[in-house]
Amino acid sequence: MSDVFSGPEAALCVDGVLEGGAAPLALMDLATPLLPETSPSATADSAETAQPVSGFSRFGLRPELLTALDGLGFHTPSPIQKAAIPELMLGRDLVGQARTGTGKTAAFGLPLLHGLDPAQSRPQVLVLTPTRELALQVAEALASFSSALPRVRVLALYGGADFREQMLQLRCGVQVVVGTPGRVMDHMRQGTLDLSALTTLVLDEADEMLRMGFIESVEWVLEQLPAERQVVLLSATMPSAIRRLSNRYLRNPAEITIHSRKGEESRIQQRWLMVQAQQKPEALQRVLEAEGQGGVIIFTRTKAVSLTLAEALEREGHNVALLNGDVPQAQRERTIQRLRDGRLDVLVATDVAARGLDVDRIALVINYDMPFDGEAYVHRIGRTGRAGRSGQAILFLTPREKRFLSELERAVGETIRPMEVPSNASINQARLNRLEASLTALLADTPLSETEQALIGELLQRVGREQEADPKQLTLAALALALRGKPLLLNEQEPSPVAVPMDAASRRRAPRSAPAPRSESDDGPEAHMERFRLEVGWRDRVRPGNIVGAIANEGGLTGKSIGKIRIYDCHTTIDLPRNIPADVVANLQRLRVMNKELQLSRL
């Protein structure tokens, strides 16, 4: 059976003998006899009766690989697997372009594992990845595919792990190495990674290696390899620099481009939300409340923002963790595992830290900060909707960033739809849905023991008798206790505190009827206030929260210093402090709410 060697738990090897560690499978590997020296087809014939029925069987893969795939639930090849596996089985170089989550690892991994010589202890396959997370993910996938192959070992090489331990594992003998360019180069220079028997090099997520500045390192590795080797280049996008790399180092490669079908594109619902920069935290809270069912990844541009945001979400009671370049590798791996296991719901991450994450539970990706370019956006949203699953992606845009939206739409080849900040009503409905789901789950499988259930039952009966409370009252009291003093529902009559200035092209139709306004002559402003007129009203779908947020931010006012607001069909009146500076009034006149100038004027 195969095993992934990485981290402090891996077994050590001295003079070819494994010692200690927590990887008993490796000991079993050494005790497993080698396959007879027969061709794969002959082996397949001898095991024909045990070979599982699979769409992968038509490729002529070894029966051990088919057995592993069947156990993993892989029965039908994806488009890139159908196109790439036959070419790689023939030994051809290959350039493959397909979006993340389409099964590229199996597309190159299965044919390369098929061709391994288990008797050869030196690496035969080298896979370069841009990040340590992706290296671990690919190594784990290859190990699972080869779980039924005898004496096949996969080693992940990346920075942050003990170099000496990796050196000892290499000395034990491995057939497949998956690593980041920097650590692979370190071992090559130290003479601890012998690639003289290498048959295939895979460049996975080549466009990301270009973005992260690894292309020179990749070229250095390529120039040290045996002259006769197979090179596989896989990428979600194909920038000109990657195309030049292909032309220089690949020989008459097969070229495969997998375009997303309409149904595949629709699996990720992409939306954008326009919000002022200072209102992002409040908007994020509302989005998480209304949309954050399942695992969530929130992307920020910088480590500083990721740390601040994770701390703020933790204070609000979210089950959140941080993933950026300052987080130690061992902690990163534990965090990802917690996310997979469902013990963690929200991950705040920077681009570099989260590349290559493949977690089934990720239902929502939030671009809290706009990515630098279309390629980064493609990789970010690729963390959800993977391998046939559905997902959502929400992009936060400030008004100044709106002009870059078209670039992202070109990158994904579809329109990103606008959305509004979730209302109190939608948040309340989401809370009720979560409560119902939690109660249903607890009824199906209560975490309480029989003794605990009996004691609580007696307690409820005693409280009910003493307080003359019926079961409904007791239930409501228990719910209030679980809420810890927080209200279950928001006041649906209160407007959202987040202003969302959307342009006219993205507005929905204004409501046909508006609440009846009070007469302007009902009363005047207070003595310390002055009344102003704004040229926006119900027909512009403006709400008090939009106006308060915009004026407070631009005028340097606090929400408490803003007086009465009355919204009419075509205009609004607002009470502001007397003697407000002229320059502030001038700024507010040009301020836009719902993409319309306020044209502030005194009444």
CA distance 156 to 10: 11
Give the CATH fold of the 504-602 domain.
Answer: Alpha-Beta Plaits (3.30.70)
CA distance 64 to 68: 6
Mean pLDDT over 78-97 rounds to 94
Give the pLDDT score at 535: 86
Contact 154, 123 (CB under 8 A): no
Q: Is 30 helix (H, G, I), strand (E, B) or coil?
A: helix
**Residue spans per domain, the chain:** 3-30+78-257, 262-425, 504-602
Name which of 539, 602, 545, 593 is nearest 573 in CA terms: 602
Among the residue ranges 47-51, 183-187, 338-342, the one predicted with the least confidence is: 47-51
Contact 103, 78 (CB under 8 A): yes
Contact 18, 165 (CB under 8 A): no
CA distance 258 to 294: 29
Does residue 183 or residue 521 have the better pLDDT? 183
CATH topology agreement for domains 3-30+78-257 and 262-425:
yes
CA distance 111 to 90: 9
Would the CA dihedral through 219, 221, 224, 230 be positive or negative? Answer: negative
Name which of 359, 401, 381, 368 is nearest 288 in CA terms: 368
Contact 532, 570 (CB under 8 A): no
Tokens 């929130």 sit at which residue? 298
Mean pLDDT over 462-480 rounds to 87
Give the CATH fold of the 262-425 domain.
Answer: Rossmann fold (3.40.50)
Sheet holding 200-203, edge to edge: 3-5, 153-157, 176-179, 125-128, 200-203, 230-235, 94-97, 254-257
Residue type, 435: L
Give the pLDDT score at 47: 38
| Domain formed by 3-30+78-257, architecture | 3-Layer(aba) Sandwich (3.40)
CA distance 467 to 580: 57
Report DSSP letters for 271-294, one per residue.
EEEE--GGGHHHHHHHHHHHH--S
Structural tokens at position 372:
């630098």
How far from each other are the two terminal CA atoms of the chain, in whole angstroms?
82
The continuous run of DSSP H or E covering 586 comes out as: helix 582-590
Give the pLDDT score at 101: 65
Name which of 372, 378, 373, 411 is nearest 393 in CA terms: 378
Name 8's Cβ contacts closer than 8 Å, sequence gap at least 6: 162, 165, 330
Q: Answer left, alpha or beta for residue 519, where phi above 0 means left and psi between -120 and 50 means alpha.
A: beta
Would the CA dihedral through 113, 119, 120, 122 be positive or negative? Answer: positive
Mean pLDDT over 137-148 rounds to 91
Considering only CA atoms, give the Rg of the chain.
30
Instruction: Indicate if the pLDDT at residue 108 is higher than 90.
Output: yes
Confidence of residue 353 (pLDDT cuts 50, 70, 90): low
Of all residues in the chain, what percent are helix, strand and coil, respectively (each to 5)? Answer: 45, 15, 40
DSSP letter assigned to residue 420: -
CA 440, 444, 450, 451: dihedral to nearest 10 degrees?
-20
Confidence of residue 263 (pLDDT cuts 50, 70, 90): very low
- In 213-302, alpha helices (H): 215-224, 240-249, 262-265, 280-291
Phi and psi at 398, nearest 5°, equal -90, 160
In tens, the pLDDT along 212-231 reads 888 899 999 999 999 999 99
Confidence of residue 255 (pLDDT cuts 50, 70, 90): very high
CA distance 390 to 591: 39
Mean pLDDT over 91-118 rounds to 90
In tens, the pLDDT along 6-54 reads 443 344 454 444 433 333 222 223 223 323 333 333 333 433 444 445 6
Read off the pTM: 0.55
Instruction: Indicate if the pLDDT at residue 348 is higher than 90.
Output: yes
Phi and psi at 176, nearest 5°, equal -130, 130
